[in-house]
């Protein structure tokens, strides 16, 4: 719906119906209302109950999130349970713990935890309804300006959007002002709660709501409507940009066992503006939170201008960016922390490898195991001699020598890593099999020529896999 489509009188059930239809929500999907019990969600709950009576092809749920931040939280939960029964809609009370530690934004932490709780009740194709209205949209635009955001941020909220990748979010009241909602609720005699924290102007939204927006409206009565129109236009422009990025980006990306990577040489040939748009698109494509413009510019500068042999490893929040052979690779800082090996040196019982049937599984790290089987086909390592120590090692010295069967001569390990095009951060994760002090196999890459089995000879296959 256009932001200019404001009605003095409105039917909430009709607003819901319009957005459910335009979103293409399929029969059987669950419509989930984020139900705080405040006047906005109370009016929406009433409208949803009216919609539900005429649309039995959907399932319905009211979710109230108990943050535990107010002395009244229990009373609010009871109110929502009681009203849900009155509306005849199933309800769920989700109790969460909000991290209020040092340097934490209570608003941001509560919002993140709240959405996590809501998503736990949803599956692909479901839709979340929220009570955001026209004045919320103005607040969002003003906060985006305060943060220096571009068209994407200034697009603020859409009446319908994709949510959590495979779900919907719809905002039936987005073209309706707070004043209209309060008048409608009063006329209907709706009982709703009032959150005392809404009067605390230490929170940015409350400061805008209490101190700034009333003065703006006193001067320019239609500012919420015109700001919403600007957000709508920004969203249109952003959609064009996103479409162009999605068409151009695949030419810059290639996939390998290390994941998707971005061609920095090709990126360097683009204008500065397109470098930023494409790199941001790459980050978004892999599901990471978008960096600030300053972070993005600094990262691009280092990736594109640092000397060729420089080791580039950049951290931006939860995102880790690395450069290798002219390509940018992204990973999660949290995933990296989960990867440490159980230990650098794992000894394997040699006699167990010489048994008739070998089927061994060893834990290498939190997420990885190594299976060992005995076969007489495929690429395999010769059996060790009885009494010879067999070990699995990581982070092996680069001076260690080995002669892969597909190479003419023996080489130092540091040279082999380069020849096999293995990124530096992946090398320490490769299980290396030793017989005594001889490196006989880099699992997944090569077997030393002296330890390759002859045709029909029994040997060992080492296979890594994720837990």
Is residue 13 within 8 Å of 51, Cβ to Cβ?
A: yes
Using DSSP, state whether 63 is helix, strand or coil: strand
The residue among 393, 372, 386 whose CA lies nearest residue 438 is 393
CB atoms within 10 A of CB 259: 10
Strands 345-348 and 359-363 come out as unpaired
The answer to whether 187 is a known ligand-binding residue is no
37 marked as binding residue: yes
Other beta carbons less than 10 A from residue 353's beta carbon: 18
Using alpha carbons only, give the angle 8, 13, 18 rounded to the nearest 5 degrees: 85
Contacts with 285 (C-beta within 8 Å, 6 or more apart), sequence order: 249, 253, 260
Tell me if 349 is assigned to a ligand binding site: no
Neighbours of 60 (CB within 10 A): 21
36 is in an annotated binding site: yes
Residues 6+ positions from 373 with CB-CB distance below 8 Å: 358, 359, 360, 460, 461, 463
287 is in an annotated binding site: no
Rounded Cα distance, 427 and 412, in Å: 14
Residues 436 and 388: beta-carbon distance below 8 Å: yes
* Nearest one of 263, 399, 266 to 324, comparing CA atoms: 263
The CA distances from residue 69 to 34, 96, 98, 114, in Å, are: 17, 10, 8, 12
> By three-state DSSP, how is residue 372 classified?
strand
Q: Is residue 162 classed exposed, middle or buried when 0-12, 13-18 and 19+ CB atoms within 10 A define those classes?
A: exposed
Largest CA distance in the chain: 90
CA angle 245, 246, 250 (to 5 degrees): 105
Length of the chain: 467
Question: Is 141 marked as a binding-site residue?
Answer: no
Taking alpha carbons only, the member of 332, 238, 242 closest to residue 281 is 242
Going by the annotation, the residues of the binding site for ATP are 36-41
Known binding-site residues equal 36-41
């Amino acid at each position: 719906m256009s932001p200019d489509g404001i009605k003095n009188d409105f039917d909430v059930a009709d607003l819901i119906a319009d957005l459910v239809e335009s979103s293409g929500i399929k029969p059987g999907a669950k419509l989930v209302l984020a139900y705080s019990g405040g006047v906005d969600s109370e009016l929406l709950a009433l409208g949803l109950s009216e919609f539900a009576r005429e649309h039995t092809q959907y399932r319905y749920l009211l979710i109230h999130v108990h943050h535990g931040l107010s002395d009244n939280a229990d009373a609010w939960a009871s109110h929502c349970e009681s009203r849900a029964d009155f509306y005849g809609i199933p309800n769920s009370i989700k109790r969460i713990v909000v991290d209020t530690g040092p340097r934490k934004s209570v608003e941001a932490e509560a919002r993140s935890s709240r959405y996590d709780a809501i998503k736990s009740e949803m599956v692909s194709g479901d839709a979340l309804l929220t009570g955001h209205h026209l004045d919320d949209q103005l607040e969002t635009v003003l906060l985006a300006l305060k943060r220096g955001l571009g068209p994407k941020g200034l697009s603020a909220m859409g009446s319908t959007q994709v949510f959590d990748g495979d779900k919907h979010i719809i905002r039936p009241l987005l073209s309706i002002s707070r004043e209209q909602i309060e008048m409608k609720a009063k006329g209907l005699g709706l009982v709703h709660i009032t959150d005392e924290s809404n009067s605390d102007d230490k929170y940015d939204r409350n400061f805008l709501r209490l101190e700034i927006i009333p003065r703006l409206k006193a001067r320019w009565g239609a500012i919420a409507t015109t700001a919403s129109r600007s957000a709508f236009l920004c969203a249109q422009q952003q959609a064009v940009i996103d479409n162009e990025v999605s068409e151009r980006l695949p030419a810059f990306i290639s996939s390998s066992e290390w994941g998707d990577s971005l061609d920095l040489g090709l990126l360097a040939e683009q204008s500065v503006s397109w470098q930023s748009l494409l790199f941001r698109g790459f980050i978004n494509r892999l599901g990471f939170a978008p960096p600030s413009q300053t972070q993005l510019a600094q990262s691009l500068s280092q990736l594109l201008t640092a000397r060729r042999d420089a080791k580039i490893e950049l951290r931006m929040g939860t995102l880790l960016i690395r450069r290798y052979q002219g390509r940018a690779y992204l990973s999660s800082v949290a995933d990296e922390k989960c990867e440490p090996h159980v230990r650098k040196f794992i000894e394997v019982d040699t006699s167990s490898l010489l048994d008739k049937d070998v089927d061994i599984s060893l834990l290498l790290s939190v997420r990885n195991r190594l299976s060992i089987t005995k076969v007489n086909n495929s690429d395999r390592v010769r059996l060790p001699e009885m009494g010879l120590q067999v070990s699995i090692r990581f982070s092996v010295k680069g001076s260690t020598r080995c002669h892969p069967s597909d190479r003419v001569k023996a080489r130092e390990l540091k040279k082999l890593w380069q020849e096999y095009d293995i990124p530096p951060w992946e090398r320490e994760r490769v299980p290396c099999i030793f017989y005594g002090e001889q490196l006989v196999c880099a699992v997944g890459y090569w077997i030393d020529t002296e330890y390759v089995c002859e045709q029909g000879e029994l040997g060992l296959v080492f296979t890594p896999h994720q837990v």
